[in-house]
Amino acid sequence: MRWPGQPSARTVSLGLVAMVVTAMTIWLLLRPATTPTDGQALTAPAHQHESAPTTATSSPEAGPPWRYGRPGARYTIIEYADLECPFCRSYFPILKRWIDAHPEANWQWHHLPLAIHEPVATAGARLVECMGAAGGQTAFWQALEWAYANTRSNGQGLPGGLAYPDITPAAKQCLASDRPDTLIHAQAEEAAQNGVSATPALQLRDRETGKSLLLLGPVEGDALLSAIDLLSAGGPQAGESSSSPDMPAAPVGDMPR
């Protein structure tokens, strides 16, 4: 039984729903903006997860080994080099320009200080390694370029009183440790195992097939392209490293080609 003037059950229900909706709307409008705590993570829109384009001179990978060029390149040119070797010094900007012009290949550095250039060769290698350890890929290649630009070569080292600018505390800590010596020794041992005893020397590797070629001397651009063609066409068996008689040591020439 319902008394005259008493609202029906349907009217009461609709009124309660309206009140709840109104209250929720006011709460949503007035609630403070929240930020995720340490245990929370923000989910970015799908398009924000796309990888940014990588330039020819950058790499997101940490080192060592230190790499220059496109990280996903099919071919890697491992250069065995000495920072006091005059041929390596002349070849450095040439190979850098060639890598910039050929995105199918990247460049990996491998220390090989020669006994005739010691102790300066290892001192230079320690410096660039520690700059890389402290500052990453860019810092490593900048230090390498600086070292070649300023050394007098042939074991003479830097002019008296010249020091690398803006060495960070992290780099100084690295230089005071055994870390760079361990790495440089290990790379020299690996070079010996691969039959490399002179600088510069290049090992061209095909990431897709696992094949490689050892090229001696400052190899010109045309010879590098021929070596890539040789690996693509078959080359040595997968996992083997072969010196190619068709790729002799070449004088430093004009590159890229």
Domain boundaries, the chain: 67-243
**Which regions of the chain does DSSP assign to beta strands (E)?**
67-68, 75-81, 105-111, 201-206, 212-216, 241-243
Amino acid letter, 48: Q
What is the reported pLDDT for 217? 93
pLDDT at 6: 46
- List, run by run, the mean pLDDT of 10-residue segments along the chain (257 residues): 46 41 40 36 29 38 86 97 98 98 97 97 97 96 97 95 92 96 96 94 95 94 96 66 42 41
129 contacts 64 by C-beta, under 8 angstroms: yes
Which CATH architecture fits 67-243?
3-Layer(aba) Sandwich (3.40)
Angstrom distance (rounded) from CA 26 to CA 52: 41
Looking at residue 119, its pLDDT comes to: 97
- In the prediction, which pLDDT does 166 show? 85
| pLDDT for residue 53 | 32
Q: Exposed/middle/buried for 255, CB within 10 Å: 0-12, 13-18, 19+?
A: buried
- Enumerate the β-bridge partners of residue 81: 111
Residue 79: per-residue pLDDT: 98
Ordered alpha helix ranges (H), 102-244: 120-135, 137-150, 169-175, 179-193, 221-233
Q: What's the confidence (pLDDT) of residue 61?
A: 56
